[in-house]
Structure 1
Amino acid sequence: MSATWADIQKLASALQKAQNISGEKKLSDNNVIEILSTLRANKVIDIIFTANGKEYVTRKHLRREVANECLDKKGRVSFDDMVLGLNVDYSHIVEAVKNLCEEDDSFITHGAELYTKDYMDDLCRKIEEKLNEKGRTTIFEITKSFDLPTIIIDTYIISQIGFKINALKDGESIYTRKFLDTQKKIIKGAVGALTKVCVMEQIAESLEVSRNVFVTLWNELEQEKVITGRIMGSKSILKQAYYIPIYFIKLSEQFIRNKFNSDGFIDMSCFKKLFMLDVNGALVGIFGKEKVKKMVFLNSIVLEKEKFDEFLVNLKDDVRLKEYCNVLDCFNETSNVALDKQDLEVIKEKYIKGNDEFEYVSVDDETLIIYSKELSSKIYEALEPIVKEKARKEAPNLVIQLKEQSSKKAKVSDDEDDDWNTNKGGKGKKKVNTKKSSTKKGKAASNDFETTASIPLPREELLKTATKLNIAPRDVIEMLFDKLSNKLEIIFQHEIEITVTDLSQSFIQDKKKIRREFEEKAQSLYNSLMTFYDGTKVIEEKNEFASNKLCESLKEYLFKSIGTDLFNTLLKILSDQPIEDNLVGLKRDKAIKELSVPEDIKGMFTKLYQLLNSNSYEDFLSTMDSMFASNSSGLKIKFPKDSVKKEFQNSYLANLKEQLNLSTDHATSLLLSIIILLNVRCGIAIHASGKLVSALLTYLNSSTKLNEAESSLLLSAQAAVIEVFKSKGSTSLQLSEQLNEAMEEIKKITNE
């Protein structure tokens, strides 16, 4: 059980007496301290030692000392000051303060300070005195002046505003009621002096209060009926709100009353300039509900009903007299008022639409034309024959356009007839839709292809014709033209369809003819390729180095020339677009990609080109055979029979002889002669260039098909031709004559 202060005093007295007793042995100060520490450790006594350890005090007494220390400091003391003043550790002060605040609610602690509530009350009194002197202050100024933590200010000071502190708080600012009354008087004086519209923010800037307080004071003045004007806009955004003085309101209403009574109308912009957003409400306040009901409201003006009725009568009279009328011009003549395009829209929707007497047309939302139904019929009747005649003249041009487009887009099959389709176009254009269901022989057309072409309507020609007839001014006709154009397009379409139908069959036949010509060319090239390829095989069978080298050169030249020509011709047959003769690079790849065939056929085309450039001739021919055999390719090229090859070889020989007889060039004549002799003597047909003359002559001599004189003649002619090339045209007359004689002898040999 803890010892009381009386017990400790008794113990101290006993210790003192023991110390004073004379004897041989006494307790030292250290022994006394050790005894007290032991007693405190065993909880026999509950005391606190001072910082130097020479004095001690009970916890209860320490709390009393702490309270006395705070009161001595006028109600506010820091923990550090108490540590120095009471000579105990900081932790004991913290504990003592905590226990003191729990036992006595007149004390407050925060952070490292101890306060009394009397101190807080005295602080509120001082703040109120300061407020009464200045009229306003801020929380920051209070915090700075009294050097207090913000939480103390918020908890014990701000909460007393309106109670112990007679003031009003707004945000960080604090005002006295007297100060706010003064600000209200300033507002009252400023408002009373205004005669023009003023931005609310300008009034608020003249005061020393926040915007929220300004609005509060303004509302109080409104409730007190001090402010007689009105506000336009929201008081929550003062820079966008306007105060309209009563004097300005009365003058504005008087102006509107006089203006309307004098002119019979008033511009809507006047209301905006006079800060009257509710036009109908403003008019009701000025004229009363009954008179406002008789007004006509357009987008930009308000009119007397009598004046607007007068305008409608004049409008109808103009239409009956001239068969048309410009609404804007008519209104300007009647009322001397300029309308905008929204006004025209209101007039059209409310007063013109649904009228059986006349029709209307709007142009660019800025012009509204009213016209009689008879005027529309007259213009239509005048333009109809012109449209029909123009359609008949332009139909052939449309067929040309269709041919050009079809050459790019249409895919034609030999076994099927074609339908010709184009769709109707846009404004001012005509697109034709003609379907041919049968041929002249009555056979059903089973294959359709679609193309699109357009011919413009002869707008200017139609307008000039109608203008010359004096039906109406050109600008009126132009405005009506678009409305009539749909009917005119139907006529134009019908006439073109009739004409195009007659021309379409010949167009289809032309397409088929072009394809047949390409297919015939491809077959002929294939026949020649295989015939010449057989010739190279015969040379290859000799299996000699010279003959093998000659064979490779002949194959390379054959496939580079005839093989490439055949490849391009096949592309032209299957392509929907025009194909150049010698496609290379990206153009060739694009042409293959755009073919209207399955992907495997496109792959074959790509492979064929690669094989052409890699000298893989057998693979090239094998791939081509696979393509021809595939039904999905659409190609009808057949492998040439022996009889076909023989026929081609004979035709080729006759052609060579004809060329030889007409040739005047020695080198060309020598080449033709050698190729003819290979055909006649060796039975092989080849396709060769002049670079191979020497090798061909060597092969021919080795074939034993020439006698010694013929061989010598050919070799002499070859040497002479080479000499002529080397001399670059400066040969002797004798050599030329000898070469001419030799070539004549060679020609005779080829004709045997």
Structure 2
Amino acid sequence: MAAAEWDEVKRLAADFQRAQLSSTVQRLSERNCIEVVTKLLDLKLLDVVFTTDGKEYVTPQQLTREIRDELYVHAGSRINLVELVKLLGVDLNQIAARATEIERTDQNCSLVLGQLIDKTYVTHIAEEINEKLLQQGQITIGELTRHYDLPSDFLQTVVEKNLGKIIHGKQDKSDHQVFFTESYVARNGARIRGALAAALRPISVATLLSQCGVEERLFYSIIGNLTEMKQVPGVITGKQQSGSSMYIPAIYSKSQNDWVNSFYKQNGYLEYDALMRLGIVDHQLFIHKHFPNEKLLFLPSFAVGPNITDPVEAAVEEAIATGSMVDIMPLLPSLFEPEDAEEILTEVLKNTKIKSLNQNVHIFCNTIVVTDHFIRKLTKPFDAVIQKKAEEVVGSGAYLLAQADSKLQNNRSLIEQDEPSTKADRKEERRKKAAGGKGGGGTQGRETKTKSTKKKYLRGKVTAGDDSDEEHTPESGKMSRSSAHKLELLSIAEIKDVLATDESLQEEDLGELIAEIANHLHPSLNKSGLAAAKAVFESTMASTAQNRRKTHSELQDKLNAMFMNVRLFEKGLKQFSDKDIQLQLSKYLLKTLCTEITNEIFSYIAQENMIQYDQAKELSPEVRMKILNDSPNESKEPLLKLHKSLNTNSVEEVLNCIEAALGPRVCDMVLRRPDKKKERPQLLEHRQALLEQLTSSKDPALVLHLTTLILFQVVSQTMLHASGRFVSHILVYLQSHVTAEVFNTLQQYHDLVLKLLRTSSDDINYVHIMCELQEGMPAIKEIATSFKKHSTTEKFQQQPE
């Protein structure tokens, strides 16, 4: 190695050593830079914008310059802010803030729906709109909005600012979003003018629009201009843009007017259907305008003039003056309906001349005028009929039932009216009792008081006199009238039959008139009938009072006899040692005689208090409860106990309840005390009745039944009330009191009866058994008639020791 090269190496080694030994220059890392920038931002000494990747910073001024550059280089000078986010890598909020600042400081830029638009782009849009308007002749803001994807307000402003400058056209006065050219309006105006000139009859605007190819909005604008210049040979009727507008040519209107004048002059009326066929839609308005000085009457189907109404008025005046009737239908044209005639009559009767006659008239069948004088003449034959019907309804008792029903409904109505105040009084009473502590009684006490008040009030009304229904409140009067209406003395059919006999109503076509007059007279005739019935009823009340007392006495005797029979029958059933047999006989006695006595008592209570029920049927427990609920308050407790006692098995309890029910508080009847002296005649009478029934009876089962009852009475000296199902038990009782021969005869006959009942009538043995029973019947009857009590002693004497 040469010396020079070696010196170079040494020099390089010295430089390297010097470099290693010397201190390094100060440098900043990336993290230090971030911290420095962050500190400057916190101290507001630096204003920068971060990029979306966070690796770069840009100042607002630089971001503004870059946005302007992108707007300049972008096609059409219009760019979306979202697209700038992708191009510049800056957050959308920062770009939106810079775009807003650009719009504020630069009048040539606009921010519209997130898009930055330059003035040159607006000018370009105006030029395109002008070209499209020249091509189409008309353009709307809606079309431009869809084409340019810009708001309608912005485009409206652009078009209006450039109208007459860049955009050559006019704005529609009725719709500011529509623009058109003069040539377009002139072209469509010529089409419309030609179509209207060619029309000879009414045509709808919709048809004109379809034929001419003109929009409806533009059509009415052009029509207005043509009408002002008097270039339209006709008129447009109906509301604009409603779809019902019509164009009526002037020549057609003239022919319409000529036909209407001629028809009205000849007939005196106008038919709406005929006007509709002529194309006159609003016929009443047309008639008002066409005949302003005529006194017309507008009916549902016609407009009637004085030529029609004057003859009708004259005929009605004549009928009122003579007190007769008149049918105006022949005076009217054949097209008129009865409803039209009725309206004409209503209008004619408003005339002052007819009112001055001071006559009341009625309209029947829509076309017939009938005076009060004529109706009074028709009602004269009903006087005798009403009197006869009144006597019949009083005699049958229907009038009394109607009055009872009327009073019951009146009472219910009055109670319903009194309920609001009664409820308020109850609330006040409960409040006072609650404030007073325990000294007011519980809930049960309040209920008892309430019920007592209502029933006492109800009873006071029910037991009022027969004439009290004439002096009630208006509401009760309504109830009375509705109840009285149920009592119909004369039916509509009967009224029609009487009216048909009148000479003035005997024509064939007056059947409907007779029916309507009958309906009209029905309420008044029935009211007169009720008044006549009331007079007949009052006149018969005095004579019936004596009969009523007699009926009371007869019922008292009947109930006393039945009561005594029940007591004797009770003694008879106690002759049986078997308690089960006694119980069954007691139930049968309760079910029959005791129930019959109870029903007689309840029927008497219902009659005395005019409680309505079906008298043709036997009283059921439900009907008895109905009578009990409607009976006076003091009668309820005894009647309720009597009603409930029938469900027990104690005859003695029922008799006690019957005795209480017959007392002065309820039936006011005298119940005779038991008298043993009268028991024997009662026993003999009962036995004689059984023997008479036995003599006339031919039924084997009944003959055996009656025979056992007679033998039982003779043996026990007591009466027995038993059905046929107890015959076998009676025979067991009689076995120890009759001879063996008699018992065997009865037992054999009893067996044959049972065998007969079990055998079908189609069986061969049925006739044979029946013959045996018929042959043995005289012997059975003979036993019953000839049996004496001492026969039992003879039986025991014949028995061996």
User: Do both proteins adopt the same fold according to a TM-score greater than 0.5, normalized to the shorter chain?
Assistant: yes
- Cα 1:124–1:405 change in 2 (3 A) is farther
Q: Secondary structure at the match of 1:349?
A: coil
User: Structure 1 residue 35 and structure 2 residue 33: aligned?
Assistant: yes
Q: Secondary structure at the match of 2:239?
A: coil
Q: Paired residue for 1:688?
A: 722
Query: Which of 566, 581, 592 is 2:625 aligned to?
Result: 592
Q: Paired residue for 1:577?
A: 613
User: Structure 1 residue 367 and structure 2 residue 368: aligned?
Assistant: yes
- Cα 1:501–1:609 change in 2 (3 A) is closer
User: Structure 1 residue 342 and structure 2 residue 373: aligned?
Assistant: no
* Distance in 2, Cα, partners of 1:133 & 1:465: 91
Q: Paired residue for 1:106?
A: 108
Cα offset for 1:210? 5.4
- Cα 1:326–1:718 change in 2 (3 A) is closer
Q: Paired residue for 1:11?
A: none
Cα offset for 1:70? 0.7
Cα offset for 1:655? 2.4
* Distance in 2, Cα, partners of 1:326 & 1:220: 58
* Distance in 2, Cα, partners of 1:120 & 1:230: 45
Given that 1:550 and 1:696 are in contact with CA atoms closer than 8 Å, whether structure 2 keeps it comes out as: no
- Cα 1:454–1:420 change in 2 (3 A) is farther
Cα offset for 1:685? 4.4
Q: Paired residue for 1:120?
A: 122
Q: Relative to structure 2, which stretch is displaced further, 49-58 or 104-113?
A: 49-58
Q: Relative to structure 2, which stretch is displaced further, 152-161 or 103-112?
A: 103-112
Q: Secondary structure at the match of 2:200?
A: coil
Q: Paired residue for 1:746?
A: 787
Q: Paired residue for 1:438?
A: none
* Distance in 2, Cα, partners of 1:604 & 1:312: 74
Query: Which of 716, 719, 732 is 1:678 aligned to?
Result: 716
Q: Secondary structure at the match of 1:42?
A: helix
Given that 1:666 and 1:743 are in contact with CA atoms closer than 8 Å, whether structure 2 keeps it comes out as: no
Q: Paired residue for 1:278?
A: 285
Cα offset for 1:93? 3.3
- What is the aligned length? 658
User: Structure 1 residue 406 and structure 2 residue 439: aligned?
Assistant: no
Cα offset for 1:672? 0.9
Matches within 5 A, 1:251-266: 251-259=255-263, 263=266, 265-266=268-269
Cα offset for 1:518? 4.8
Q: Paired residue for 1:247?
A: 251
Matches within 5 A, 1:328-727: 328-330=329-331, 340-350=341-351, 353-354=354-355, 356=357, 361-368=362-369, 376=373, 384=380, 386-403=381-398, 406=401, 409=404, 419=466, 452-456=487-491, 458-467=495-504, 517-518=554-555, 520-534=557-571, 536=573, 539=575, 546-575=577-606, 576-579=612-615, 582-583=618-619, 588-590=621-623, 592-594=625-627, 596-598=630-632, 608=642, 611-617=645-651, 619-621=653-655, 623-629=657-663, 631=665, 634-637=666-669, 639-643=671-675, 646-648=677-679, 650-657=681-688, 659-660=690-691, 663=694, 665-679=703-717, 684-689=718-723, 691-692=725-726, 715-716=743-744, 718-722=746-750, 724-725=752-753
- Cα 1:106–1:646 change in 2 (3 A) is farther
Cα shift readout 1:571-607 (whole Å, capped 9, x = no counterpart): 32233323456555xxx41453255315796687676
Given that 2:50 and 2:90 are in contact with CA atoms closer than 8 Å, whether structure 1 keeps it comes out as: yes
Cα offset for 1:53? 7.2
Question: Where does structure 1 lack aligned partners over 5 or more consecutive residues?
Answer: 1-22, 424-432, 434-448, 541-545
Cα offset for 1:164? 2.4
Q: Secondary structure at the match of 1:687?
A: coil
Cα offset for 1:566? 1.9
Normalising by structure 2, report the TM-score: 0.66
Q: Paired residue for 2:759?
A: none
- Cα 1:509–1:184 change in 2 (3 A) is farther
Cα offset for 1:280? 5.7
Given that 1:196 and 1:248 are in contact with CA atoms closer than 8 Å, whether structure 2 keeps it comes out as: yes
Q: Paired residue for 1:12?
A: none
* Distance in 1, Cα, partners of 2:689 & 2:57: 147
- Opposite residue 66 of structure 1, the aligned amino acid is I
Q: Secondary structure at the match of 2:117?
A: strand
- Cα 1:93–1:612 change in 2 (3 A) is same
Cα shift readout 1:333-387 (whole Å, capped 9, x = no counterpart): 9x9xx97443343333337623549986532222346x8x9xx57x966873x43
* Distance in 2, Cα, partners of 1:577 & 1:204: 80
- Cα 1:27–1:507 change in 2 (3 A) is farther
Cα shift readout 1:283-333 (whole Å, capped 9, x = no counterpart): 35xxxx7xx36x66575455577x977887788789999976544435669
Given that 2:195 and 2:208 are in contact with CA atoms closer than 8 Å, whether structure 1 keeps it comes out as: yes
- Cα 1:659–1:108 change in 2 (3 A) is same
Given that 1:528 and 1:648 are in contact with CA atoms closer than 8 Å, whether structure 2 keeps it comes out as: no
Q: Paired residue for 1:197?
A: 202
* Distance in 2, Cα, partners of 1:480 & 1:734: 73
* Distance in 1, Cα, partners of 2:236 & 2:56: 78
Q: Secondary structure at the match of 1:642?
A: coil
Given that 1:519 and 1:573 are in contact with CA atoms closer than 8 Å, whether structure 2 keeps it comes out as: no
Cα offset for 1:635? 2.3
* Distance in 2, Cα, partners of 1:404 & 1:486: 17
Given that 1:536 and 1:686 are in contact with CA atoms closer than 8 Å, whether structure 2 keeps it comes out as: yes
- Opposite residue 289 of structure 2, the aligned amino acid is A
Query: Which of 182, 191, 198 is 1:186 aligned to?
Result: 191
Q: Secondary structure at the match of 1:235?
A: coil
Cα shift readout 1:545-591 (whole Å, capped 9, x = no counterpart): x343443233222212212222332332233323456555xxx4145
Q: Paired residue for 2:73?
A: 72
* Distance in 2, Cα, partners of 1:486 & 1:610: 46
- Opposite residue 123 of structure 1, the aligned amino acid is I
Given that 1:296 and 1:308 are in contact with CA atoms closer than 8 Å, whether structure 2 keeps it comes out as: no
- Opposite residue 248 of structure 1, the aligned amino acid is Y
Q: Secondary structure at the match of 1:248?
A: helix
Q: Secondary structure at the match of 1:647?
A: helix
- Cα 1:157–1:557 change in 2 (3 A) is same
* Distance in 1, Cα, partners of 2:287 & 2:329: 25
Given that 1:383 and 1:465 are in contact with CA atoms closer than 8 Å, whether structure 2 keeps it comes out as: no
Normalising by structure 1, report the TM-score: 0.70
Q: Relative to structure 2, which stretch is displaced further, 396-405 or 473-482?
A: 473-482
- Cα 1:590–1:296 change in 2 (3 A) is same
Cα offset for 1:60? 0.7
Cα shift readout 1:114-153 (whole Å, capped 9, x = no counterpart): 222442343233223212211334555434432x2xxx42
* Distance in 2, Cα, partners of 1:153 & 1:608: 96
Given that 1:394 and 1:455 are in contact with CA atoms closer than 8 Å, whether structure 2 keeps it comes out as: yes
Considering only aligned residues, what root-mean-square deviation do their CA atoms show, in Å? 5.3
* Distance in 2, Cα, partners of 1:506 & 1:245: 92
Q: Paired residue for 1:3?
A: none
- Cα 1:405–1:222 change in 2 (3 A) is farther
Cα offset for 1:466? 2.7
* Distance in 2, Cα, partners of 1:243 & 1:701: 120
Q: Secondary structure at the match of 2:603?
A: helix
- Identical residues among aligned pairs (%): 16
* Distance in 2, Cα, partners of 1:318 & 1:724: 89
Q: Secondary structure at the match of 1:277?
A: helix
- Opposite residue 669 of structure 1, the aligned amino acid is T
- Opposite residue 350 of structure 2, the aligned amino acid is E
* Distance in 1, Cα, partners of 2:774 & 2:189: 131
